[in-house]
Amino acid sequence: MDKGNNYALIMAGGVGSRLWPLSKSEKPKQFLDLLGMGRSLLQLTFDRLAKVCHEDNIYIITNEQYAGLVQEQLPNISSEQILAEPVLRNTAPCIAYAAHKIASKNPEANMVVAPADHLILNETSFVDAVKYAFNITAKDDVLVTFGIQPSRPDTGYGYIEYDKTAEGLTEVIQFKEKPNLEVAKQFLAEGGFLWNSGIFAWSVKSIISSLGKNAPEINGIFENIQYYSSQEIPQIAEGYQVCPSDSVDYAILEKADNVKVLPVQFNWSDLGTWKSIYENKEYDFDKNAVHGNVVTENTNNCLIKVRDGKLAVVKGLENFIVVDENDVLVICPKDEEQSIKDIYTKIKDTVNKNFI
């Protein structure tokens, strides 16, 4: 297959409020080196996708306030590869924007869509999976979603029910919302359920056709944009003001009749929560993941991060998150980490902007 027809879209527009106070509105998690690997999550995602696409075929969609950060971290890409959203409208509009822009340049394009904040350790398996999907989408009118074999009853992910007796690409039975713990345990015990990774592959023809059938209001906004011209930015700004906000799952995948799931085996983590950071860090003898100058006593199963130049002494904690970042200190039970986003939402309009 001609690699010149392979394109990628990296979705890099979120604020990452579940990782506050490390992830802040001025520099969200996708622009941070969360695991000390020497590259930000965005850079790691770009490097990974460059193994299946030419670098000039990789597009990044982000909020317009982060366009400069994207260019700074990926200095070799052109400004045409940065799709700047004037307002957030969820994933369906951003995919529609990218699909129509790519199709205006190459109507035979295949397209993989990937969030910027995923950690994939087995990149060879990832590349093989994308190539496999592209071989199918280049010939067939099919929308492929990548499903991850669950390793635990996680309540932070959506699930995909599929025929567990099938091999390779198979029909989606149904999509499941993020479950409570008991339901997640049931999914794991029964089998036949995959984590919904949020990684997709399709041809631009197929996704645009599906947008037209299932999300005509969104599709109508982006099909008449004059891409690669001086009119693109003002037309996009106008279109986004009236564009519905909807996820690709709700707008397309749960409605379309040509969606299939590809179970994949690569080591995958959505680095969206402190718990996910903890799980990908090295532990000490007491299963504490520590960053910085920290002394612990009778402390177990904790994630503790303190800023440089500060000593932290932690005694008597179990299963806690302790994060000291600039002028913010967060101490929260690991089992209640989802509340960090809720707290951030409550206070973001009332506290000093330097804190958020």
Asked if residues 22 and 305 have their Cβ atoms less than 8 Å apart, the reply is yes
**Residue 330 and residue 22: Cα distance in Å, rounded?**
10
State the average pLDDT over residues 201-222.
97
Instruction: Measure the CA dihedral 86/74/81/6, to 10°.
Output: -130
Look at residue 15 in the predicted model and tell me its pLDDT: 76
Quote the mean pLDDT of the chain: 90
Can you tell me the distance from the alpha carbon of 271 to that of 279, in angstroms, rounded to the nearest whole number?
Answer: 10
Query: Which tokens sit at 250?
Result: 């709700």
Whole-structure pTM value: 0.89
Q: What are phi and psi of 123, to 5 degrees?
A: -70, -30
d(CA 159, CA 180): 12
Locate 327 and state its tokens: 């002028």
Give the distance from CA 12 to its chain's centroid. Answer: 7
Pairwise pLDDT comparison (260 vs 268), residue with the higher score: 260
Q: Is the pLDDT of residue 301 over 90?
A: yes
Alpha helices in 19-122 (DSSP H): 41-49, 67-73, 91-105
Q: What's the average model confidence in pLDDT over 74-103?
A: 95
> What integer is the mean pLDDT of 79-93?
94
Which residue from 128, 138, 61, 142 is spatially nearest to 106, judged by alpha carbons? 138
- Categorize the per-residue pLDDT at 353 as very low, low, confident or very high, splitting at 50, 70 and 90: low
For 279, the enclosing helix (H) or strand (E) is helix 274-279
Which of 12-26, 29-43, 182-196, 311-325 shows the lowest per-residue confidence on average (mean pLDDT)? 12-26
Q: Average pLDDT, stretch 240-247?
A: 95
Band (2; pLDDT cuts 50, 70, 90): low
Q: Report the distance separating Cα 239 and Cα 6, nearest Å.
A: 27
Structure tokens at 246: 């909807």
pLDDT in the model for residue 277: 81
Task: Decide: helix, strand or coil at residue 188.
Answer: helix
Dihedral (C-alpha) 3, 128, 270, 310: value to the nearest 10 degrees?
-90
Q: What angle in degrees, to the nearest 10, is found between the helix axes of 204-214 and 91-105?
A: 130
Question: Residue 9: pLDDT above 90?
Answer: yes
- Find the Cα–Cα–Cα–Cα dihedral 63, 202, 157, 150, rounded to 10°: -140
**What does the alpha-carbon distance between residue 184 and residue 193 come to, in Å, rounded to a whole number?**
10
Of the ranges 16-30, 120-134, 224-238, 256-270, which one carries the lowest mean pLDDT score? 16-30
Q: What is the pLDDT of residues 13-71, one digit of tens each?
A: 887 777 888 888 888 889 988 878 889 999 999 999 999 999 999 999 999 999 999 99
Q: Are 232 and 225 in contact (CB under 8 A)?
A: yes
Structure tokens at 57: 């075929």
Sign of the alpha-carbon torsion through 200, 206, 208, 214:
negative
Q: Is the pLDDT of residue 352 over 70?
A: no
Q: What percent of the chain has pLDDT over 70?
A: 97
Closest C-alpha to 14, from 83, 80, 61: 61
Tokens encoding 310 = 């500060």
Report the pLDDT value the prediction gives residue 327, as an integer from 0 to 100: 83
